[in-house]
Amino acid sequence: MKRILVLLFVLLLLFNCVTAYALPSFSYEVIDSSENKLILNEGINISETRGQEYLIKGTKYSLPIKYDANLLNAFSTKNSSEYIWTGNIYIVRSTEMDHVWFPQDYFIKPLQFYDADLELIYEHKFDQHVMEIGYWKGSYYCRLAGRSLGDTAGTRLPEKVVKSTDMKNWKETNEEIPHFIGSIAYTKEGSVALNQENMLPVSYENDKKLKFCSTLGEWIVKQDEEQNFYFSNDNVYYIKVEFPSELIEMTKRYGFSYLFKSVYEYDRKIIIELKINGFHVTNQEDAQFVKNGAWTTKTIRLSVPTEEVYAALDEQKAKAEYITLNGELLGFEEMPVREDDRLLVPMRFLFEKMGAEVEWDQDTQTATVLQENDAVAFQINNRSATVNSQAQTMDVPARLINGKTMIPIRFLSENLGYTVEWDEETNMAIITK
């Protein structure tokens, strides 16, 4: 009877703490690359996500921007504008040259600054096309595209990031360009500021490599090396939607690759368009992917219903709690959970980042953690623990959730010589040593 009650308790914990979403994979169709986006409206691409309209450029560098016809008409570059509102100034760049290469600098549009009344107050002309803009804590950022000067010496200006605090004087920097999504600042490379104060790097479990694609509404969209797509509220935790297995087989069979073009919402579906890189199929069944046996001009249009993805993202946002270890945010595959007001986190990734060694006894479901002169042993679903051969009792036991051993973070960290503080504003446990 006691074992049954324990089992029921664990099942109840799993139900309350973790929602395991069986998200569908993408369906797809093959279209000509010349075909317009489904959201084309009077010459511009406008998509609505959760009641907010966004202008979708579909260029390599531009991010979707909130659509405001009056605002865009006030800028000299009109619908070719990408802008950022800093709180008192609009920073505006032209997207016209995002897909164009010209050696002549007179094709390059200036970076513009408008005040709250939409009056142009300053513009700065670079020798290179501005392909990305950002703002963070009083500093303006630009990524300048590399280009050839077209001279006989073959001189080339390299791609670089520049920074200014006064709009006029710009210096090259190694900093990542910051962007905002909702109230969160982030970089495409994988940093985030949850409190708009400190930009922290994110380390992902299993050293997952995620490539930034774009944004959808107030979500970040990335892709892994297996072509799967990830949607995130915060650049830390993600909802995964799997890439169609048939397209992965095409990659293996013919060496195809898929280049991201755009993401938007249409008819209660998330649409992602990818350009096919590849040619020469060997059977008629695959002929839809190429044109006349030559280099393909085809596009893959992926789609997935919004309902389940958005529900999973909302659930994740409501439950998100964060862990930093020595100034680095930890991007766990399984989010931390609460039990009796104690925070449990995935064991292996945390201890890996601490440099600790973990021994696991499958028969007894017991883990022993070794770091320097400390040894901590504990068992799944058992509050009793051993710290340096001394018996101790944890407030809550370790749990096995969705295949991950989840441990009470404060007890384990402090007994390995770490300090744990809690930041209420950002729901963040700060671990330092």
What is each CA distance from 181 to 220, 279, 289, 383, 386, in whole angstroms? 8, 38, 35, 41, 44
Q: Which is more confident, 297 or 50?
A: 50
Find the farthest-apart pair of alpha carbons in the chain and give their distance in angstroms, rounded.
87
Query: What would the pLDDT profile of 101-148 be if each residue is shown by its tens digit?
Result: 654 566 789 999 999 999 999 999 998 999 999 999 999 999 999 888
CA torsion angle for 426, 326, 415, 337 (degrees, to 10)? 30
Nearest to 407 by CA among 418, 395, 421, 422: 395
Query: What would the pLDDT profile of 212-232 be if each residue is shown by its tens digit?
Result: 999 999 999 999 999 999 999
CA atoms within 13 A on the CB side of 329: 25
What does the block give as tokens for 253?
């069979």
How confident is residue 355, by pLDDT bands cut at 50, 70 and 90? very high
What is each CA distance from 279 to 257, 275, 294, in whole angstroms? 10, 12, 6
Q: What is the pLDDT of residue 428?
A: 95
Separation of first and last alpha carbons in the chain: 44
Contact 304, 229 (CB under 8 A): no
pTM of the model: 0.88
Contact 346, 334 (CB under 8 A): yes
Residue 107: partners with Cβ closer than 8 Å, 6 or more residues away: 97, 100
Residue 338, pLDDT > 80, answer yes
Q: What is the pLDDT of residue 175?
A: 95
Contact 175, 141 (CB under 8 A): yes
Query: What would the pLDDT profile of 295-304 be if each residue is shown by its tens digit?
Result: 567 889 999 9
Instruction: Name the phi and psi angles at 423, rounded to 5.
Output: -100, 105
Query: What would the pLDDT profile of 256-306 be if each residue is shown by its tens digit?
Result: 788 899 999 999 999 999 988 765 555 555 555 555 455 567 889 999 999
Distance CA 234, CA 251 (A): 31
Q: Region 313-333: what's the mean pLDDT?
A: 95
Q: What is the pLDDT of residue 198?
A: 87
Using the CB atoms, write b or e for 30-49: b if 16+ within 10 Å. eeeeeeebbbeeeebbbbeb
Residue 28, pLDDT > 90, answer yes
Q: What is the pLDDT of residue 8?
A: 40
Q: Are strands 52-55 and 65-66 parallel, antiparallel or unpaired?
A: antiparallel
How confident is residue 150, by pLDDT bands cut at 50, 70 and 90? confident
How confident is residue 2, by pLDDT bands cut at 50, 70 and 90? very low
